[in-house]
């Protein structure tokens, strides 16, 4: 005599439901939300807020601590930077104010990252002799 196969239909529906649930976990992940600002190696805030695009020109956004850090790094490594890359950096080079923050152009943002790397590598700062020779034009 012929028998009806009820359990098979139930198994197919159950397997399809499980497959749909498991696939939705990988297809639709939860959005990533940033909750903290990036810090430097010492655990402090480095002052870099993000990027801003103005037409085809892209700027970095710094807060006051980022601007201060940039200027401190320039005062520490300006002579070595000029001899290594041929670029003379001065206070606030490439930076201008923007809505209570500071915009830094991409060229000087690159220099800022190089200076930060020198600081992380514990490179010795410019000596007083180097600074003196640079001020007189010997370096």
- Report pLDDT digits (tens) over 44-95: 457 888 888 887 778 899 999 999 999 999 999 988 898 888 999 999 999 9
Distance between CA atoms of residues 41 and 125, nearest Å: 18
Say what the pLDDT of residue 70 is: 93
Note the pLDDT of residue 57.
Answer: 78
Q: How far apart are CA 115 and CA 79, in angstroms?
A: 12
Q: Which residues pair with 51 in a beta bridge?
A: 60
**Could you give the dihedral angle defined by the CA atoms of residues 122, 46, 113 and 84, in that order, rounded to the nearest 10 degrees?**
-40
Cα→Cα distances 95→18, 65, 127, Å: 56, 13, 26
Report the predicted TM-score, pTM, of the whole model to 2 decimal places.
Answer: 0.63
């Amino acid at each position: 005599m012929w028998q009806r196969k009820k359990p098979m239909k139930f198994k197919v529906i159950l397997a399809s439901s499980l497959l749909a649930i498991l696939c939705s976990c990988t297809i639709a992940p939860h959005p990533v939300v940033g909750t903290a600002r990036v810090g430097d190696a010492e655990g402090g805030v480095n002052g870099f807020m993000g990027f801003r695009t103005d037409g085809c020109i892209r700027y970095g956004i710094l807060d006051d601590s980022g601007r201060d850090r940039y200027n401190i790094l320039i005062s520490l490594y300006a002579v070595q930077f000029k001899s290594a890359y041929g670029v003379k950096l001065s206070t606030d080079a490439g930076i201008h104010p923007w809505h209570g923050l500071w915009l830094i152009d991409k060229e000087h943002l690159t220099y800022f990252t190089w200076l930060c790397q020198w600081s992380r590598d514990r490179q010795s700062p410019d000596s007083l002799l180097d600074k003196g020779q640079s001020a007189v034009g010997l370096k």
